[in-house]
Amino acid sequence: MENTDTVVAVFADHPAAETAIKKLSAAGFDMKQLSIVGKGYHTDEKVVGFYNTGDRVKFWGTRGAFWGGFWGLFLGGLFLTVPVVGHVVVLGYLAAIVASGLENAVVVGGLSALGAALYSIGVPKNSVLEYETALKTDRFLVMAHGPADEIARAKTILATVSPSNLEVHKGVKTPPAVAAAE
């Protein structure tokens, strides 16, 4: 296992989060090392959900195009209900960790499955609670994972999109690869 750092940026809306992902991608970051997390709907909407047809995913709601477009870029993800936070979409690197935690029924100090996944990659518990609060208030998390020099570069790029919070969590051991379900 190698040490990896994680940078987490909190954005107030989905256009800013989308801009951040596009800037990281344009700068050559591997999409496998990026994650985006946010609610799948506005609180005033009635219908919440998605369906999958082959390699295409259709989301319902005003953010449907946003999530549907990113689903293919990130090569999958998940949609779950987090207690207190609500319905959340997790795409990218973090989705596999959340799914693994759900499959193994991992509970870490009373944290949600999402919180446990963040904690497992080295995000301190107080920051996990801050990020879950941000999600609850309809904000978006954009994350990059990798060696310290790459994360420093990612932080510089993310800062250009003016996140409300930008933090690097250092020296995290890379979790083992998620094995295919047997």
The tens place of each residue's pLDDT in the chain, 182 residues long, gives 567 899 999 999 988 998 999 999 999 998 889 998 987 554 444 444 444 444 544 454 555 555 555 655 666 676 666 666 677 777 777 777 777 665 555 555 567 778 888 888 888 989 999 999 998 898 999 999 999 999 999 999 999 999 999 999 986 555 554 433 33
**Within a domain: residue 182?**
no
Q: How many domains does the chain have?
A: 1
CB 14 within 8 A of CB 66: yes
Q: Which two tokens stand for residue 57?
A: 């995913």
**Domain that includes residue 38, residue range:** 3-173
Residue 179 resides in a domain:
no
On whether residue 153 sits in a domain, the answer given is yes
Instruction: Report residue 114 as tokens.
Output: 């999402």
Please check whether residue 69 lies inside any domain of the structure. yes
Which residues lie across from 173 on neighbouring strands?
3
pTM for the complete prediction?
Answer: 0.73
DSSP letter, residue 80 = E
Instruction: Identify whether 178 is part of a domain.
Output: no
Q: Does 181 map to a domain?
A: no
In a domain, 38, yes or no: yes
